[in-house]
């Protein structure tokens, strides 16, 4: 298939002149013979314009994409549900893709963006594209990142993670705990820093000194990581009476790690998870959680994408609904 550059070369003009002529640019001023040469080259080379690319310049392609690390992750599923609802409100179809391929500058989503088949991109996931890849994507389509630090040219929407960790820690302090630990998510991520900050500030506000041995990084969206990190924390700080686990899926493994070390939850140690999912009701003991507005995160990401006047530089934190404590059976006053 011929390209617009080949048509331009055959007609002896710049590619931009070919593009403007074929897109019906009324401001284009060229000689009639130049116009004839371009049309002749189009016919001779059998050039077909990229309809998707033209739709972005003129109207819209009618589709946006969300790049995720784990499409089957139940936490991400709530975010996707909110994004889909918002996309429908904006008359857009929502495609899902793999953020790991996107981070390497490859994969289906990159091809669709380069081909002009998408109106915008929302990125959610731990595998962050490099600055060069992000700059390339943002130059092609409006781009919004979820749960990331602000950066030029890209909109950001984040959860109220610090507030969630404060709500969690304050609940444990109100129960009477003075040795409250924290296991947070992966080092270098915005949500890990914010949740750790919320834990620290809640303890400090209660007059309790956060001990450096009472917290660890390293949770992932899997029970195995919760068991591993919780086990390390309890091995080095065995006198903790409560722990905030900053991922509800990892908290299932954290319960197992406590049990393996002879702790009975909540008699000997309380465990509280950030995020709420249906599975939190069915583990034993049922997990006390702090619910975050995951669906609203996805919705506001797409809403920001649709607002072209703000999408390139806005940095928002979801404020409503606020993080909500859901008390269940895994928290109780500390042992006497």
Report residue 99's pLDDT band, with 50, 70 and 90 as the boundaries: confident
Q: How confident is the model at residue 73 (pLDDT cuts 50, 70, 90)?
A: confident
Which residue did the predictor score with more confidence, 68 or 216? 216
* CATH no. for 4-49: 1.10.260.40
pLDDT tens per residue, range 123-143? 986 667 777 888 888 888 889
Q: Tell me the pLDDT band of 332, cut-offs 50, 70 and 90.
A: very high
Of 1-10, 34-43, 258-267, the range with the highest mean pLDDT is 258-267
pLDDT over threshold 90, residue 16: no
| Structural domain spans, the chain | 4-49, 60-159+295-317, 161-291
Would you state the CATH architecture of domain 161-291? 3-Layer(aba) Sandwich (3.40)
Considering only residues 46 and 225, tell me which one the structure prediction assigns the higher pLDDT. Answer: 225
Q: What pLDDT is stored for residue 90 in this prediction?
A: 84
CA 323, CA 318: separation in Å to the nearest integer? 10
Return the higher-pLDDT residue of 270 and 143: 270
Average pLDDT, the chain: 88
Q: If one looks up domain 60-159+295-317 in CATH, what number appears?
A: 3.40.50.2300
Please state, in angstroms and rounded to a whole number, the distance separating the CA atoms of residues 199 and 193. Answer: 10
Give the pLDDT of residue 56.
34
Contact 268, 274 (CB under 8 A): no
Q: What's the rounded Cα separation, in Å, for the pair 49 and 42?
A: 9
Strands 93-98 and 63-68 come out as parallel
Tokens 């003009």 sit at which residue?
A: 13
**Ramachandran region, residue 91 (left: φ > 0; alpha: ψ -120 to 50; beta: rest):** left
Q: Do domains 4-49 and 161-291 have the same CATH topology?
A: no
């Amino acid at each position: 298939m011929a390209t617009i550059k080949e048509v331009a070369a055959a007609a002896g003009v710049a590619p931009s002149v070919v593009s403007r002529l074929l897109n019906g640019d009324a401001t284009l001023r060229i000689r009639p013979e130049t116009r004839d040469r371009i049309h002749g080259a189009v016919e001779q080379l059998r050039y077909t314009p990229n309809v998707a690319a033209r739709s972005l310049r003129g109207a819209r392609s009618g589709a946006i994409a969300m790049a995720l690390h784990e499409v089957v992750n139940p936490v991400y599923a709530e975010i996707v549900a909110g994004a889909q609802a918002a996309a429908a409100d904006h008359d857009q179809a929502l495609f899902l893709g793999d953020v790991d391929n996107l981070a390497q500058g490859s994969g289906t989503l990159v091809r669709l963006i380069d081909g002009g088949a998408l109106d915008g991109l929302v990125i959610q996931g731990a595998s962050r594209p490099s600055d060069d890849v992000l700059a390339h994507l943002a130059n092609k389509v409006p781009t919004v990142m979820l749960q990331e630090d602000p950066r030029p040219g890209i909109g950001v929407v984040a959860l109220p993670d610090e507030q969630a960790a404060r709500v969690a820690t304050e609940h444990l302090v109100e129960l009477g705990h003075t040795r409250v630990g924290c296991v947070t998510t992966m080092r270098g991520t915005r949500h890990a820093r914010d949740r750790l900050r919320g834990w620290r500030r809640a303890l400090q506000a209660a007059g309790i000194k956060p001990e450096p041995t009472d917290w660890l990084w390293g949770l992932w969206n899997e029970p195995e990581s919760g068991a591993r990190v919780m086990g390390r924390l309890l091995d080095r700080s065995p006198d903790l009476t409560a722990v905030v686990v900053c991922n509800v899926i990892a908290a299932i493994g954290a319960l197992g790690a406590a049990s393996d070390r002879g702790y009975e939850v909540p008699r000997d140690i309380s465990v509280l998870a950030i995020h709420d999912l249906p599975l939190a009701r069915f583990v034993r003991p049922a997990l006390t959680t702090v619910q975050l507005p995951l669906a609203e995160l996805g919705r506001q990401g797409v809403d920001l994408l649709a607002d072209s006047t703000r999408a390139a530089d806005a940095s928002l934190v979801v404020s409503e609904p606020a993080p909500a404590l859901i008390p269940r059976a895994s928290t109780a006053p500390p042992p006497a």
